[in-house]
Amino acid sequence: MFAAIGGFAILMFAGVPIVLAIGVAALFAIEFTTNAPLTIVAQRIYAGMNSFTLMAIPFFVASGLLMEAGGIARRFVNLASALVGWITGSLYMVSITTGTGLAAVSGSGSADTAAISAVMIPEMKKRKYNIDMAASVIAASGALASIIPPSIVMIVIAITGNMSIGAMFLGGVIPGLLCAFAMLAGCYIYARRGGAVYRDAVPFSFGRLFLALRDALPGLMVPVVIVVGIIGGIFTASEAACVALVTTIIISCFVYREIGLRDLPHLFLKAIALSSTVLIIVGTAAVFTWIIATAGFPAMLQAWLNGITDNALVFLLIINVILLFVGMFMESVSAVLILLPVLLPIARSYGIEDIQFGIIVALNLSIGLITPPYGICLYVASSIAGRKVEQVARAVWLPVLCMISVLALLVLVPGTATWLPSLFF
């Protein structure tokens, strides 16, 4: 067990790709610390990926790529601009609102960050916004895709923890919206103190809002179809992903007509490449978690935590610190697959509900998307902004503070995550 964990840590910090670090560490541990045959590796990889529910991932990824290429993302920006573009710090407000809307369609933080950055960064530079703060806010807006349904991370959490995907999706709605509102408030306060550069001369107009809403309405149907279909029991998460993809194709190709059917093969190949990365990690992580489980690590960790405290809040405080640290260095799906099978049974022993704990994990790892040194959304936003990651990282304190405040509320008030699912499940 310690050979697997130690080997994984060494390989990861040495810069080895995460999937190889997991797989090589697991292979080393099986060969030199157990009597299990190496054929167990192939068996566990197959078992880890042999899930119908995992089929939702490539379809949601493809739907997100179509959303960006087919004009849905741009219309979401226009709608957000009409809705909040008159408020002080308007471009921050538009970025956050757009990120919230895109998160309800794609489920991919890095893709949403790229889409928002491409539209907003040039305008922010033109208006002389603090570009480091702008990039950090856009990165955080994209990171909302991990907590607002349909989230790929939440799908993996639900599968790994044997939870209802529909309940997980609903559990993320209120925390996700609270994160968005917290960032809106934080950016408003920041902009009020930032001087005239953040004042917007364009007044609010119901006519402009109506036109933008009418233009974006077909794209807004995608999240409605997903959530209503799953909650209403019309289809499973995987079937919902297929329906979302078909809906996105129809809207992009036949309603907005910004791409044609000939563009679909290229987008599908890109979706396959992105999805296969996730699924390979799922397979190799299954071997790693099997080694940890058979070595009795969950029981050892539970005994250690029980020796420290029998208070659920103290336990969650410790877990939040661990997850925030892990999120700084590890990709979200990998972190879920390695840590959740160990931590969830312990959380249950403290009387913590599965949905609350799952959303806590998702929100922690969402914060990890904007915290260096890993912070993939931070890298994407800083790259498009033409700034060094170190420069943008100095401004990331504002969105991180806003998201941690929601995390604290989620820990102290379990109903923040569990109330909405309790109405339907």
pLDDT per residue as tens digits for the range 359-418: 999 999 999 888 876 777 887 888 888 888 788 888 888 999 999 999 999 999 999 999
Q: What is the pLDDT of residues 78-98, one digit of tens each?
A: 888 888 878 888 888 888 988
Q: Residue 250 contacts by C-beta under 8 Å, 6 or more apart in sequence?
A: none
Indicate the average pLDDT of the chain. 82
CB neighbours of 105 closer than 8 A, spacing ≥ 6? 63, 64, 67, 72, 150, 219, 222, 223, 244, 248
pLDDT value for 91 = 84
Provide the residue ranges of all domains of the chain, joining segments of one domain with +: 52-422
**Position 171 pLDDT exceeds 80:** yes
Query: Mean per-residue pLDDT for 115-136?
Result: 84
Confidence of residue 118 (pLDDT cuts 50, 70, 90): confident
How confident is the model over 288-304, as a mean pLDDT? 73
Tokens (6 digits) for 76: 């979401």
Return the top range by mean pLDDT from 191-195, 198-202, 314-318, 339-343.
Answer: 314-318
Expressed in angstroms, the distance from the first to the final Cα of the chain is: 38
116 vs 145: CA distance, rounded Å: 12
The reported pLDDT for the residue numbered 88 is: 81
pTM, two decimals, is 0.81
